[in-house]
């Protein structure tokens, strides 16, 4: 509904606009139409918004079916992170891929949800989840370690499929 704003002064008003009452009735009918329209409100704690797979929520680490992380601790994510929120410390492992993150921390007070970490990751090991409920009561709690970051791969399949469309 593109409408060009026309400046109208009082002298330009027509008689029916000038006596004001029909215009009031127009306004009233508009608000009444809105009163009976369906509402879009999510009643939050009971009814939660489920974002689409394009949504960038809290970044998480992908956990394979055998309970191990996909991450090989290359450190690219921490390198690319513009907010310097990610800290990775690599360790050696007997497994085929030889490296794993001994320590992987994301400071959620710093994270800006840009998704660069997920873009740069060569292993699809860090992805943005749909989780947007990030409340903590102290700064220490804001630093998420591996215990909080690891999420089973099947829960993240939506996002992984979405990312593959653009690769």
Partner 1 sequence: METGIFVLISAIKILLIAVLILMTVAYLTFFERKISAWAQNRLGPNRVGWKGLLQPFADVFKLLLKEDIIPERANKTLHFIAPMIALFVAFSTFAVIPFGPEVHLFGYDIPLVVADVNMGILFVLALTSLGVYALTLAGWSSGSKYSLLGGIRSSAQMISYEISMGFSIGGVLLLSESLRPIAIVESQAGWMWNAVIQPIGFITFFVSAFAETNRLPFDLPEAEPELVGGFHTEYSSMKFAGFFLSEYANMIIASALIVTLYLGGWHIPYIETLGLPSWLVIVLQIGAFIFKLVLLLFLFIWVRWSIPRFRYDQLMNLGWKVMFPLSLINIVWVAILIMVFGL
Interacting residues toward partner 1 by CB under 8 A: 21, 24, 27-28, 30-32, 34-37, 39-41, 43
**43 vs 133, beta carbon nearer partner 1:** 43
**28 vs 109, beta carbon nearer partner 1:** 28
**41 vs 66, beta carbon nearer partner 1:** 41
Shortest Å distance, C-beta 9 to partner 1: 14
Residue entry with tokens 């369906």: 38
Shortest Å distance, C-beta 46 to partner 1: 11
Shortest Å distance, C-beta 37 to partner 1: 6
* Residue 131: closest CA among 146, 110, 150, 117: 150
Asked if 79 contacts 70 with a C-beta cutoff of 8 angstroms, the reply is no
d(CA 29, CA 48): 33
d(CA 120, CA 126): 9
Shortest Å distance, C-beta 41 to partner 1: 5
**45 vs 122, beta carbon nearer partner 1:** 45
Residue entry with tokens 């749909």: 130
* Lateral strand order in the sheet of 150-152: 126-128, 59-63, 150-152
């Amino acid at each position: 509904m593109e409408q060009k704003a026309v400046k109208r002064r009082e002298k330009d008003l027509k008689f029916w606009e000038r006596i004001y009452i029909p215009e009031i009735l127009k306004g009233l009918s508009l608000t009444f139409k809105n009163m009976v329209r369906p509402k879009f409100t999510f009643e939050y704690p009971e009814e939660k918004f489920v974002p689409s797979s394009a949504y960038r929520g809290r970044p998480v680490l992908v956990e394979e079916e055998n309970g191990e992380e996909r991450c090989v601790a290359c450190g690219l994510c921490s390198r690319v992170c513009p907010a310097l929120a990610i800290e990775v410390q690599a360790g050696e492992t007997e497994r085929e891929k030889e490296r794993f993150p001994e320590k992987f921390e994301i400071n959620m007070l710093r994270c800006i949800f840009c998704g660069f970490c997920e873009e740069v990751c060569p292993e699809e090991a860090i992805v943005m989840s749909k989780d947007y409920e990030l409340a903590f009561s102290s700064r220490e709690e804001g630093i998420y370690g591996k215990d909080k970051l690891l999420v089973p791969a099947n829960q993240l399949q939506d996002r992984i499929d979405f990312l593959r469309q653009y690769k």
